[in-house]
Structure 1
């Protein structure tokens, strides 16, 4: 088999990131990265189209130079915002003919589920198998190479996203001279942040970005629930800026160099000088003063995540909590979360050379998603060795079918070279038996109060009614600690 490279693109709020990777044993080998900081995107939405496009061009150029790979096709990562989740079922009949199941059969099942979801304002971006059944007898994780005479059944999760957000993101990438091969939601990507035992037992991933905190619960190898709140590291910086009357830039620098998320462990000896916005002389604060603000905002964010999990009746997290994203760079994040829950906690930092930063977790996981689906469907997507690609399907075909995304999916199908990959394939876990008729599960984004998210977080010494507030926060901490025991 020829070597193939996977290029993933993350259009994030703080920066645009790209990674070039390849399958390596049971993981991903990253051979090149690119990153461009920009404020053209906020909470998954493009604010300045030109700035975003230029950032994409610059990022891909950096990734091309560092990897030595000519990049013109990418997998696009989309955040868990304006997103709905559904469960679908489909069956392929064989009419008594003995049939060896292959990737094409699986692809047909998933594409049928995709085409069935036609909405005026929503688009299916990912359909992921939960489990398969062969001849209504064998519930399996991967049915390839098995023999069937009657049917192949799949129960799958369907992720839908706001069409306008998706179209603008895809258009911005294509205007940068790139082809979008496929789009993967972070709801699926984040499962690759977890270890095999964590995703089997039931683990929670919390990805804290600049303007968005995404989280998901994964159990028995698949996503069970995922959502986001429109709050992130920039809100912490805003709190510091307001509390100490300093500029956003100075607050961000202080946060990165001296910030600590756990007040009890922060230093009270180091001195940090902060310029004043009104022209007054600089003030001196300590890392403990900064931690006073940081801890309260971060704790509030964690509490909101816990409330959302509790609403979905997720109170047992046997696989533990994993924190990642750019804000996970803060010291004390693990200690703060450990103070709130009883399960094991870890901060995920990718171990791939050149991308050992938590903000790269999501885009690297997108590469893993591309590899996972390629193995399941038995095809390879990116050939950087000069092989001529087949003609692509005109995008008008997708529009005629009533689905914007169908055009992208068909384009990828036409460009792929179908061939069987040797080695292990991704294993999907068994779920409920087919005899159970699942309720049409549908989740919408958790409603975080955006006005409240921008409120100033006061310092402990400035709080009024301090005793009452502390008692409430202490009560909530005890409540969630008991829930996740």
Structure 2
């Protein structure tokens, strides 16, 4: 990215969101944001190219004005739609003692990317789980270590439908910016979990407009991700049908009076509705409305449980983390807590300017970008070293609950590892190639051509 700024684009079903941020010593500082509501996106993918393009262009302009930065390159968030998650291993050999650098890691990860042989799919993210130096020394970051014979990586791989990827990138780049790299939400959700949650095993539930996305992490690793084609729009449709009113009116009522947990909803909070086929005004209480909302949100959670059951998951020791635009609805946490025995929390980003659950994906995309820049040694700057930024976790204390009969009970079984081709790949550049990643004069990262740019050249050829 130009200078040390990171710009993420989140093309959601209800709105396009753009965040401009910079890396702090221990976090992210949000410099500017933009958001534009649109109907050009459906189920997380492009539905009307021109409408979506204009929304993206308008949002980038808003973020550019808010941040005072001329945005030329962006990181694009991808939804978990037609996505496959699996593990892969790759090894590079050395013919002399070699100090491992970021370029070696990038070459190693690129080798895994090139192993993909599934037609009509493209690998968008390869993330290391562990490295093994000289077949015996297992490490999390091998940079500056000396390898005599080999460097192996065990990595997670996220692949997406190629046409979906091309259309998303084409739409963004037609708005006047370049897509520098892409990150799937399946990987991005890692940054919204605490280290303890990732280690124990936690499930992220992102309830958006058209999609509810699920990602399950255990022992620090992403194990699987999936989607439920049911989310906030379906709640609004149910309300519109129940109240006999328009979708727009139902959406406003949901935001103002909606409550997802019937037991906590008020029977004193009264609102009026003008039915479509009548001139008489009707009155309803929040509790009556909650009966409808709770039924749909329960259906969403049960669909999530079905996915987890199919993975043979018995218990989510690290708990459930709910985020996304529909997580703003009152009672969502209480309802889920009533359905499961594990801990439940609502995640809201802690950074000023984006403290809403719907910004979780966009800010997480920046976190993913920084993580990979640090891994590949593209970023060595440390901005504002003297400032301490506290990472907030929006979470209330949860009392322990007894297991509920309607919770899911099974045990997670890791997906079988995808069959790899040869695990040995000769590294032609390990001894001779050296890439300098920083400008020594000002400490800024030098402009790099991303691995993704190289791949996209072949995609469009």
TM-score (norm 2): 0.83
Give yes or no for contact 1:90–1:113 (8 Å, CA) kept in 2: yes
Q: Which residue number in structure 1 is paired with residue 236 of structure 2?
A: 237
Following the alignment from structure 2 to structure 1, what is the Cα–Cα distance between the partners of residues 99 and 267? 68
Contact between 1:17 and 1:59, CA under 8 Å: does it hold in 2?
yes
Higher helix share: 1
Taking the aligned partners of 1:364 and 1:387, their CA distance within structure 2 comes to: 21
Residues 210/392 of structure 1: CA separation in 2 closer, same or farther (3 Å cut): closer
Runs of 5+ in structure 1 lacking a partner? 408-485
Q: CA deviation at 1:115?
A: 1.6
Instruction: List aligned pairs for 1:73-222, cutoff 5 A.
Output: 73-95=73-95, 97-222=96-221
Contact persistence 1:8–1:366 (CA under 8 A): yes
> How far 1:80 sits from its partner (Å)?
0.3
SS in 1 for 2:144: coil
Aligned to 1:480: none
Deviations 1:24-54 (A, max 9, x none): 2222211111000011101122111111011
State the distance in 2 between where 1:272 and 1:7 align.
Answer: 41
Residue 131 of structure 1: CA displacement? Answer: 1.0
Question: Residues 391 and 128 of structure 1: is their aligned pair in 2 closer, same or farther, counting only changes over 3 Å?
Answer: closer
Instruction: Give the match's secondary structure for 1:242.
Output: helix
Q: For residues 65 and 155 of structure 1, do their structure 2 counterparts lie closer, same or farther at Cα, with a shift above 3 Å needed?
A: same
Matches within 5 A, 1:369-448: 369-380=368-379, 398=455, 403-404=458-459
Rounded to whole Å, the distance in 1 between the matches of 2:443 and 2:65 is 17
1:57-89 per-residue CA deviation (whole Å, 9 max, x = no partner) reads: 110111111111110100000000011122111
Tell me the residue number matched to 2:268. Answer: 269
How far residue 119 of structure 1 moved from its aligned partner, in angstroms, is: 3.7
Distance in 2 between residues matched to 1:326 and 1:399, nearest whole Å: 31
**Aligned residue number for residue 289 of structure 2:** 290
Aligned partners of 2:181 and 2:452 also within 8 Å:
no
Flag the 1:399–1:200 CA change in 2: closer, same or farther, 3 A.
closer
Give the deviation of 1:118 after TM superposition. 3.8
CA contact (8 A) 2:438 2:444 kept: no
2:29 is aligned to 29
CA RMSD of aligned residues (A): 2.4
CA spacing shift, 1:158–1:386, aligned 2, 3 Å: closer
Structure 2: stretches of 5+ with no match in the other structure: 380-436
Q: CA deviation at 1:235?
A: 0.3
Deviation of the 1:385 alpha carbon: 11
C-alpha separation in 2, matches of 1:357 and 1:16:
14
1:449-468 Cα deviation digits (max 9, x unpaired): xxxxxxxxxxxxxxxxxxxx
Q: 1:336 Cα shift?
A: 0.4
- CA deviations over 1:234-274 (Å, ceiling 9, x no partner): 00000010111111011100100010010000010111111
Question: Quick check: 1:134–1:152 contact (8 Å CA) kept in 2?
Answer: yes
Q: How many residues align?
A: 401
| Partners of 1:189 and 1:366 within 8 A in 2 | yes
Give the whole-Å Cα distance in 1 for the aligned partners of 2:134 and 2:59. 48
User: Secondary structure of 1:66's partner?
Assistant: helix
Shift of 1:220: 2.2
Aligned to 2:10: 10
Query: Secondary structure at the residue paired with 1:379?
Result: coil
Distance 1:289 1:17, change over 3 A: same
After the TM superposition, which segments of 4 or more aligned residues of structure 1 sit over 2 Å from their partners? 380-395, 397-400
CA distance in 1, matches of 2:452, 2:3: 28
Residue 62 of structure 2 is matched in structure 1 by: 62
Match of 1:322?
321
Aligned partners of 1:92, 1:193: CA distance in 2, in Å?
A: 33
Q: By how many angstroms is 1:389 displaced?
A: 5.1
Output the CA distance in 1 between the equivalents of 2:149 and 2:205.
Answer: 42
- CA–CA distance in 2 between the matches of 1:393 and 1:29? 26
Are residue 48 (structure 1) and residue 48 (structure 2) matched?
Answer: yes
Q: 2:84–2:160: 8 Å Cα contact kept in structure 1?
A: yes
Return closer, same or farther for 1:390/1:133 CA change in 2, 3 Å cut-off.
closer
Q: Helix, strand or coil for the counterpart of 2:306?
A: helix
Aligned equivalent of 2:363 = 364
Contact 1:247/1:275, CA 8 A, preserved across alignment: no
Secondary structure in 1 aligned to 2:13?
Answer: coil
Instruction: Say which SS state the counterpart of residue 25 (structure 1) adopts.
Output: coil
Structure 1 residues 282, 22: CA separation in 2 closer, same or farther (over 3 Å shift)? Answer: same
Q: Structure 1 residue 121: deviation in Å?
A: 1.2
Take 1:231 and 1:314, find their aligned partners in 2: how far apart are those partners?
22
